[in-house]
Amino acid sequence: MMAAPRLFVDDDLGEGNEIRLDKQRSHYLRSVMRLNAGASVRLFNGRQGEWRSQIADAGKSVTLKVGENRRAQQQATELWLVFAPIKKDRMDFLIEKATELGVTDLLPVITRRTIVSRVNTDRLKAQVIEASEQCERLDIPTVHEAVKLSDLKSAWPDDRVAFVLDEAGSGGSAAVAMSAKAGHPAACISGPEGGYEKSELDLLRTLPNFVPVSLGPRILRAETAALTSLAIWQSVCGDGEAPPVPQALRD
Amino acid sequence: MMAAPRLFVDDDLGEGNEIRLDKQRSHYLRSVMRLNAGASVRLFNGRQGEWRSQIADAGKSVTLKVGENRRAQQQATELWLVFAPIKKDRMDFLIEKATELGVTDLLPVITRRTIVSRVNTDRLKAQVIEASEQCERLDIPTVHEAVKLSDLKSAWPDDRVAFVLDEAGSGGSAAVAMSAKAGHPAACISGPEGGYEKSELDLLRTLPNFVPVSLGPRILRAETAALTSLAIWQSVCGDGEAPPVPQALRD
């Protein structure tokens, strides 16, 4: 059985509510998915869990009638990714995968070797919504405005562990280092292509809970390193042992 | 300091040997990297470690003179990825990342829901070479010809653990399941978009060392699931604690 389409909406969700979709989502359901009145659509808003709904009107503006609540909202385990922006295709991929891997906060940082001068946060926000719809999560990662690496320290929470992916090799195995900090709020900090400059690494070392981690002998591309660290963290400290959302809740 | 370019060649490597590059690689060094006679290039062939060389002739066919051996060949820890082919862009990404994550064998399998009818193994071979050059590994993953999933069992080595990424949720945490099998030859087995059909999962369950693993509550795209499993395996069972290749060996 095909899963019912799943959409993120801003509206409040409750049984009997009517939700009118914008042009783009209306087009998606009507013309791309070819759905008609009566078809099932799942809705979530990041606050109230997931709700079944039915298409009430498949006209130019699709209207949905909200049915029963199928999944209660859950508080996602916080996991930040602090990353240096990279080239478009690779960044698209990074954002999609980081969302699938359960990141709750995306913090772009501008480093000396960052070659991307401007971060289009609206584009990132659209990407995290699409990836969240796809991967069955109930929340949407928060996309923060880009900051300079030199400004990161002043904003750093005292209790948050900073797992810095360090190609200079001062760290131990990521799985070992991360499991030693299980239960602590965490951030993975990945660099630009070409890595951090020495002065930047020195700055990162002054973060209150700095933990350098190694990802093995190969030199990973920026986006590979970021995703690898998130994958390992989820598996040893996060929700890697939770079973996948059952098929029965996806119709 | 910029790392010297790194090329995979088929030739035998030994001090004083002369290596004549093909048209494509000659063009790359001369016109893309803009290198002249005397410039340093690193060479590896998957058998004899890594060697420094110098451009002797930067003409139409670039000739290299092999200098000193800088890194001895190491036996990579075997890790197979058995994967259902996916759409082009996502497969390109999967192959590049799997190579960075140290896979030694890539085995495409055709499943019922595989939408890609033909696997261009020559293309995959070119991609694993390029990714290997980039990520500093000394070996090149072996790309196998695609087989039907139903033929996989007859070729399966008795002692190889089959970590099957199972979205039906029968498995435990990948990190826990994998670390329990540390030291064993391993394969990660990922499915197509849409997952395995039930009969296919039943078949996989009959592999001698079948271990289902979960990658958490979110439904990962095919390539994300594959890469996540490789990242976790390397960190808990593989070379995740080895330090990165030092900068001093990359000039």
* pLDDT attached to residue A1: 55
Interval A43-93: pLDDT, tens: 999 999 999 999 999 999 999 999 999 999 988 899 999 999 999 999 999
Question: CB–CB of B244 and A168 under 8 A?
Answer: yes
| CB neighbour class for A38 (10 Å; exposed up to 12, middle 13-18, buried from 19) | exposed
Q: Which residue of chain B is at minimal alpha-carbon distance from A139?
A: B218
Q: Give yes or no for residue B87 having a pLDDT over 70.
A: yes
Q: Is CATH 3.40.1280.10 the right assignment for the domain spanning B79-237? A: yes
Query: Where, residue-wise, is CATH 2.40.240.20 in chain B?
Result: 6-71
* pLDDT attached to residue B110: 94
Task: Output the CA–CA distances (angstroms, integers) from residue A38 to A1, A50, A69, B251, in the order listed.
Answer: 17, 18, 17, 65
Question: CB–CB of B214 and A172 under 8 A?
Answer: no
Question: CB–CB of B214 and A100 under 8 A?
Answer: no
Is the minimum CB–CB distance between B133 and chain A shorter than 8 Å? no
CA–CA dist B231, B238 (Å, integer) = 9
B141 DSSP assignment:
P
Topology, domain A79-236: Alpha/beta knot (3.40.1280)
Is the minimum CB–CB distance between B238 and chain A shorter than 8 Å? yes
B145 DSSP assignment:
P
Is the minimum CB–CB distance between A228 and chain B shorter than 8 Å? yes
Which CATH number is B6-71 given?
2.40.240.20
B146-163 average pLDDT score: 93
B109-135 average pLDDT score: 93
Query: Where, residue-wise, is CATH 3.40.1280.10 in chain A?
Result: 79-236
Q: What is the ipTM of this complex?
A: 0.95
From chain A, pick out residues whose CB is under 8 angstroms from the CB of B215.
231, 234-235, 240, 244
Question: CB–CB of B241 and A135 under 8 A?
Answer: no
* pLDDT attached to residue B155: 84
* pLDDT attached to residue B133: 97
Q: Which residue of chain B is at minimal alpha-carbon distance from A246?
A: B168
Interval A117-166: pLDDT, tens: 789 999 999 999 999 999 999 999 999 999 999 999 888 999 999 999 98
* pLDDT attached to residue B1: 55
Contact A237, A179 (CB under 8 A): yes
From chain B, pick out residues whose CB is under 8 angstroms from the CB of A176.
241
From the CB of residue B89, how many other CB atoms can be counted at a distance below 10 Å?
11
Helix or strand (DSSP H, E) at B212: strand B210-214
User: What is chain A's mean pLDDT, rounded?
Assistant: 94
Question: CB–CB of B245 and A137 under 8 A?
Answer: no
Question: CB–CB of A176 and B241 under 8 A?
Answer: yes
Query: Where, residue-wise, is CATH 3.40.1280.10 in chain B?
Result: 79-237
